[in-house]
Structure 1
Amino acid sequence: MAFPDWIMLDGYVFRNVAPFPDDDPTAAVGHNSRGDKVGVRFLVRAPPQPSCILLNWEEGTGDRDDFSVLAAHHDGVLFVMSYAVSLEHGNAHYMFDYLLYRAGQQPSLHLLPSLGGSVADITSMLAMDGFIRLTNQRLRRMRGLDIGVLWVTMMSLSWPSFKLPDQWEVKRPLITPVSSIAFDLESFMWYWDADTVIPFGRYLCWVDYCFGILFWDVSDENPQLHYLEFPAEGKACSYGCQTVGVTNGILKFVSLISDNDDGRDAENFSPFGSSFSIIGWTLRVIEIDMAWEKETVLKSDLLWSLDGFAQLVHHEPRVQFPLISITEPNVVYLVLRQNGKVEEAGYNYEETWLLAIDMVKKTLKMSFPYIKAEKEDISPEVVAFFEDKYWCFQPFLPAELSKYLNLRCTSLSKQDCMESAVLPQPRQFGCVEYRALDASSYARSIF
C-alpha cells in the first residue's frame, strides 16, 4: 500500500549532499537551459513530519545560484532555478529556468519554455538596445511569484506520450467581481500582489491575503478572472497568518486573528500577553455563485490548554503558518515557534514544533519536534539549515506526489505508520523509508 497520501513539502532545499542511489524511486534527472545536469529526489514522511527536497547541481556553486519549489498538484512539482550566464562585452544576466517534476514509476524532470527569454533572446535584446528592459511584472514572472501548476483530466480514446509544448500561450482575461461589490479595476491592479497560486478543481487561483482570490476556470474558452474577497474578519497583510487550501475537493481559508480591537493579526502574539483566534471558512460554490461560510473557531486560551501543550510551550511561543490537511477537512497544521538561546548554542535558531490540530474536536492530534538546539558539535550544513529557518522561515507546501511514487511500507500497516507520529512523542516508524526524526537528525540524515 502506498504511503502516505500527501506530504508537507519543506521549502528548504538540501544541495549537493551525495550521489543519488540508483534505486531511489523518487529521483529524476534533467537539464537547465545552460545544459547543467540537475537531479532532484525526495525524502518522504507522513505529516506532521516534513518531507524534504534533495538537489544535485554540481555547477550551482555561485553565491546567487538558487533552486526553490514553487507549486505542486497531483503528480507534479514545479521548481524554479536561477543562475548567471555570461554575455558579450563582459555583461552577465540572471536566467530563470522552470523545471517540472512528475512522479510515477519512472519520475521525470522537464525543462519548461523560458518566460524571461532564452540566452539567445537576451543576447539579441542586448545587442539591439544596449540594455535589457525588465519591468516589475516581468521580474515577478521570471521569479515565479505569480506561477502555479494545475493538472486537468480530459477524456480521450487514446493518450499520447507526455510532451511539453515549446512555448507559452498568452491569454488576457477580463477581471470581474463575484459579488456586487464596488470594484475599481485600476485601484485593484495597483495594489494586487499575489502571495501564492493554488489549484482548485478546474480553477487556478491567485491569492492575495490582503484582499482575496482571483479564480480562473481553465476550461472556459472565453477566460475571465473572477474576484472573490476574503471575509472582512479574516483579512490580514502580515506574513504567516493565513492559508488557503483544498481538502477533499473543498476550498478552505484559515486565518489567525487577534481578539483585540486594534486590528492586528496574531502572528507575533505571545499567548501569555494577547489572545487570538484560529478561524476557518469554507467556500460554498453554487453554479457561478461563491460565498464564504464560517465553520470553525478555536480560541487561543483553549488552544494552550489542550492536552499535550504543557510539554511544548515554555518560552514566548507563537503559532504561525497554518496549513490545511489535504485529506482531513477538520485538521489544520500549525508551526509553534519559541525563542532559542542563541548565546548558548552559538548559532541562531528557534525551537520549533509542528502541530496537527483538529478544529472540530478541539484536540491536539500530533506533534513533531522540528528544530531543537544541539548540545554537541554539529555540521555546517545543519547550522545553515537552522539559520535559514531562523531568518526566513517559509510555509510548507502540501503535495500529493507521494500517491504517485512507487513507495511501499511493507513492515507496518498504513494505519500503524500514520500513528507513529502521534502525541506525546514521535516513535520510530519501523520501516526503513519512514523514520521519526528530531530536527538535528532530520538534517543530519541527509548528509
Structure 2
Amino acid sequence: MLDEDMGILCHGGDNGDEFTVAHLACRGRNKLELCLLHHLPSSGIPMEWSLYKLQISPDMKNDLSSWRTDVVLPIGTSLCWVDYYQGMLLVDVLAVGIEISPNHQHLHGIRLPAQALKSRRLYNDVGEPDPFRHVGVTDSGIIKLVCVFADNHPPDADDDFKIITWTLVDINKSTWIKDVDTIMGADEFFGLYSSAAHSCLPRVKPTFPVMSLVDPDVICFLLIKKEDCNRTCWIVEVNMRSKVLLSSALYIHEEEEEGHPSEKDSIRSFFGHYFIPTKFSSYLSKDAITR
C-alpha cells in the first residue's frame, strides 16, 4: 500500500509566506485521496483542510498497491511523491479543486529508468530511508536519480559497486537519459582518495547520496565504518563528471563532545540519513527567526 506521507510546498506571495501542506493516501486498490491545507494570509481565507479524490489515468504504470514513498519533493507548483524502486507521482496541488479544463490531469505518474526497475529494495523497514538511492531537484529545476548498484553478490560488498545517475529530460513523457559521463565504479571512486588529505577515508561503499541544489554533477555521500561500534561517518563531496573529490569531513557525534551517552540518548544516535537539502529557510524572514 502507498505510504501516507505529507509534503509542503512554499509558493511565495508578496511576502513569501504562502504555502500548501498536502497529504496523499491510498484508499483501496488504485484509489488516491489528497488532503490539502492552503496558507494564504493575503487572501483572508481561513485555513481549512480539503479532501479530494484524484482521478488515475488508465495508462498509469506505477503499481499503487505496492507503492512505498521514500521522499516528497516540491517541483514547480507540484509536489512529487517518490518511490525509489518504482517511480514518481506528480500532483499539481495548486490546481486541485480548480476547474482548469475538462482534460486537465492533476496527477501524473512517472516510471523510473528500466535499469533502475530491475533492482529490488533491500531495506524494508517502514520509516527507514534507502541508503542506495536518491531523487533530487536543483535550484534550476533539474531532476536526477542517483543509484549505487552492487555489481555482484553479496549486495553489501564494499569493493564492488557502480554509481549511475539519470536526468529526467521530459517530465510529461517520463523520459530519462543516463548520464554516461558521470558513471563511476568502485576502483575509480576509491582512486579519489589518492591525495594525502583524503588518504584516511575508509574504503567502504558510499551510501545516502544527496545531490547538490546548485550543481547536479556534485553529489555528497556518507562513508560509514560498519565494524566501528560508534559508526564513524565521513561526509564526502564528489563531482561525478570531473571525477574530483571536492571535500571530506568527519561527522562528530554530539555525545562525543559531551561525554559518554546514556542508553536513552543512544537510541537517538545518528545513522547517516538526516542530511536533507532544502530551500525552506529562504522563506523565513530575519524577524521571524528571532521571534
Q: Which residue of 1 aligns with 2:247?
A: 366
SS in 1 for 2:202: coil
Of the three residues 136, 139, 163, the one matched with 1:278 is: 163
Q: Which residue of 1 aligns with 2:148?
A: 256
Q: How many residues align?
A: 251
Note the alpha carbon deviations across 1:360-403, whole angstroms, 9 max, x for none.
1111112221146977871537982685324xx43422111333
Q: Which residue of 1 aligns with 2:157?
A: 269
User: Aligned-pair distance for 1:150?
Assistant: 11
User: Aligned-pair distance for 1:337?
Assistant: 0.4
Q: Which residue of 1 aligns with 2:135?
A: 244
Q: 1:75 to 1:320 in 2, by over 3 A?
A: farther
CA distance in 1, matches of 2:264, 2:10: 33
Say whether 1:300 aligns with 2:186: yes
Q: 1:324 to 1:354 in 2, by over 3 A?
A: same
SS in 2 for 1:339: coil
Q: Which residue of 2 aligns with 1:313?
A: 202
Assess if the C-alpha contact under 8 Å between 1:72 and 1:398 holds in 2. no
User: Aligned-pair distance for 1:165?
Assistant: 2.0
Assess if the C-alpha contact under 8 Å between 2:135 and 2:143 holds in 1. yes
Unaligned runs of 5+ in 2: 28-32, 123-129, 287-291
Amino acid at match of 2:170: V
SS in 2 for 1:388: coil
Amino acid at match of 1:364: L
Q: 1:74 to 1:360 in 2, by over 3 A?
A: farther
Assess if the C-alpha contact under 8 Å between 2:79 and 2:90 holds in 1. yes
Assess if the C-alpha contact under 8 Å between 2:221 and 2:236 holds in 1. yes
User: Aligned-pair distance for 1:168?
Assistant: 2.2
CA distance in 2, matches of 1:385, 1:395: 16
SS in 2 for 1:313: coil
Normalising by structure 1, report the TM-score. Answer: 0.47
Note the alpha carbon deviations across 1:128-164, whole angstroms, 9 max, x for none.
xxxxxxxx958xxxxxxx9999999x9xxxx816766
Normalising by structure 2, report the TM-score. Answer: 0.69
Q: 1:374 to 1:217 in 2, by over 3 A?
A: closer
CA distance in 2, matches of 1:376, 1:172: 50
How do 1:126-145 and structure 2 match up within 5 A?
Answer: none
How do 1:54-133 and structure 2 match up within 5 A?
Answer: 71=7, 73-74=9-10
Note the alpha carbon deviations across 1:149-200, whole angstroms, 9 max, x for none.
9999x9xxxx81676622223232213547xxxx4x7xx2322222222111
Q: Which residue of 1 aligns with 2:261?
A: 380
How do 1:163-178 and structure 2 match up within 5 A?
Answer: 165-177=47-59
Assess if the C-alpha contact under 8 Å between 1:150 and 1:199 holds in 2. no
Q: 1:164 to 1:356 in 2, by over 3 A?
A: farther
Q: Which has the larger radius of gyration?
A: 1
Unaligned runs of 5+ in 1: 1-68, 77-103, 116-135, 139-145, 343-348, 408-447
Q: Which residue of 1 aligns with 2:66?
A: 191
Note the alpha carbon deviations across 1:76-116, whole angstroms, 9 max, x for none.
9xxxxxxxxxxxxxxxxxxxxxxxxxxx89x99x9x89x8x
User: Aligned-pair distance for 1:319?
Assistant: 1.6
Q: 1:360 to 1:150 in 2, by over 3 A?
A: farther
Q: Which residue of 2 aligns with 1:401?
A: 280
Q: Which residue of 2 aligns with 1:225?
A: 107
Amino acid at match of 1:324: M
Amino acid at match of 1:167: W
Amino acid at match of 2:270: K
Assess if the C-alpha contact under 8 Å between 1:73 and 1:151 holds in 2. no
Q: 1:372 to 1:312 in 2, by over 3 A?
A: farther
User: Aligned-pair distance for 1:338?
Assistant: 0.5
CA distance in 1, matches of 2:26, 2:198: 44
CA distance in 2, matches of 1:150, 1:198: 17
Amino acid at match of 2:157: F
Amino acid at match of 1:257: F
Q: 1:170 to 1:70 in 2, by over 3 A?
A: closer
CA distance in 2, matches of 1:313, 1:321: 16
Amino acid at match of 1:384: D
